Amino acid sequence: MQHPDEGTIHAWIDGELAPDDAAALEAHLAECPECSALVAEARGLVAASSRIVSALDIIPGDVIPKTVPPRRPWFASTQLRAAAAVVIVAGASLLVARNGEVKKMERAVRATAPSQVSTPAAEPMLDSASNEISAAPVPSAITPARTRASDSAPQNAPEKALEGKVAGVRELKKETANDAIKIAAAPPPAPAVQSSGAHVIADQVTGLKPEAARDSARNSLAQRRRFNASPQLDQVVVTGVATLTAPMPMKKLRADSTGNVTIYEVSPGVEVTLVDNGLQSAAMLRASAQSKEKQMAMPPPSAVPAPKGELNSISWTDKRGHLIVLMGPFSKEVLENLRQRLPLEQR
């Protein structure tokens, strides 16, 4: 027999060769190592082909991220976190530029590098200040804003300064426990804030009393070069919210393919996410959100503390009966305000 062609070898492997032809081929293979090698190769091709064709049946499951919103931990997006930082910096910049009084404060904000929050020098001071003042009446409505530049010993600071500081400290603790907005970088107009790590604490500020804080700051901290007091600093009151209270239309930035998730722009660079869960009942959604909470790190819509204190969400049922969840780097109050700027049918 001549050397068989490749088609014949495949036909033989497939069992499709007529018995006579098969017998002749087998006899040839017994004495032709070259053709035996070809058969071995052909067997490999047959097996590999089957395997490759079977691979066509693999239907991609979770490899490609799904567009269904509840399954995706969207809030982990660095974009969103970056956006949160941007709005705070932007708000701070605006306010730094303002002179005089700041009338409305909704939030205490610490402008500092995070590592400095627990500076050994700062912590004992916080505690001792709290203890000392716990007996004293808490200033009622109006509390002067303080820089925590008054990091010096409490006895050096005027009493009034101390009061303010303690109120600020309390506020700071409260906010930290909840969802204080943290500023990682200070706005350019107030470089002193960043370089010194001074804490700017404000609460219901209507008037600022700069002298005491500034003096004490200069006395102690300036020497340690931890605080480079700037006259401007007295006006540095960071709300992170002030930019939002101005009537600004919510611009629809984009929506996902299902139309269930919509990103709105609150102000340039700041976004909130609206999730339309359709006609699901609220109870159902909460139940499913809670069941997924552990594995997905997904907060139930009504969760009070947002993950890492940076995001909050509110939820409600709109006029069409859809369960809507609005999420963003704001307090619930602000989110409620933003809700009023949504398209009518989703409010």
Partner 1 sequence: MTDVERLFRTYNAALVRYLTRRLGDRDWAEEVAQETFVRALRQDNITNERAWLFAVATNLVRDEARKDARRRQHLALLAAEEREREDEVEPTSLEQAQEAAFARKAVDSLAERDRLALLMKEEGLGYSEIAEALELSPGSVGTTLSRARRRLVETYEALQREREMREKNAAS
Site for partner 1 in 190-249 (CB under 8 A): none
Where does this chain touch partner 1 (CB under 8 A) — which range of 1-9, 108-116, 120-128, 296-304? 1-9
Draw the binding track, 9-38, toward partner 1 (x: CB under 8 A; -: no contact).
xxx--x-x----------------------
Calpha distance 143→201 (Å, rounded): 10
341 is an interface residue for partner 1 by CB under 8 A = no
Within 8 A by CB and 6+ apart from 257, the residues are 67
40 is an interface residue for partner 1 by CB under 8 A = no
DSSP 218: I
Task: Report the candidate in 267, 264, 266 with the shortest Cα–Cα distance to residue 252.
Answer: 264
Calpha distance 319→298 (Å, rounded): 25
Contacts with partner 1: how many residues (CB under 8 A)?
32
Sole binder of partner 1 in the list 7, 33, 100, 120 (CB under 8 A): 7
45 is an interface residue for partner 1 by CB under 8 A = yes
Phi and psi based region of residue 240 (left: phi greater than 0; alpha: psi -120 to 50; beta: remaining): left
Give the number of other Cβ atoms within 10 Å of residue 235's Cβ: 19
6 is an interface residue for partner 1 by CB under 8 A = yes
Q: How far is the CB of 66 from partner 1 (least distance, A)?
A: 6
Decide if 39 contacts 13 (C-beta within 8 A): yes
Q: How far is the CB of 60 from partner 1 (least distance, A)?
A: 5
291 is an interface residue for partner 1 by CB under 8 A = no
Q: How far is the CB of 26 from partner 1 (least distance, A)?
A: 16
Provide DSSP, 90-137.
HHHHHHHH--S---------EES-GGGTT-TTHHHHHHHHHHHHTTSP
Query: Which residues, listed in sequence order, are joined to residue 327 by a DSSP beta bridge?
Result: 273, 313
Q: How far is the CB of 43 from partner 1 (least distance, A)?
A: 10
Calpha distance 292→200 (Å, rounded): 38
Query: Which residues, listed in sequence order, are joined to residue 317 by a DSSP beta bridge?
Result: 323
Residue closer to partner 1, measured from CB, 44 or 114: 44
Q: How far is the CB of 47 from partner 1 (least distance, A)?
A: 9
Sole binder of partner 1 in the list 33, 60, 100, 259 (CB under 8 A): 60
**Tokens 């139930």 identify what position?**
300
Residue closer to partner 1, measured from CB, 42 or 237: 42
Sole binder of partner 1 in the list 2, 19, 62, 223 (CB under 8 A): 62
Binding site for partner 1 (CB under 8 A): 5-11, 14, 16, 42, 44-46, 48-50, 52-64, 66-68
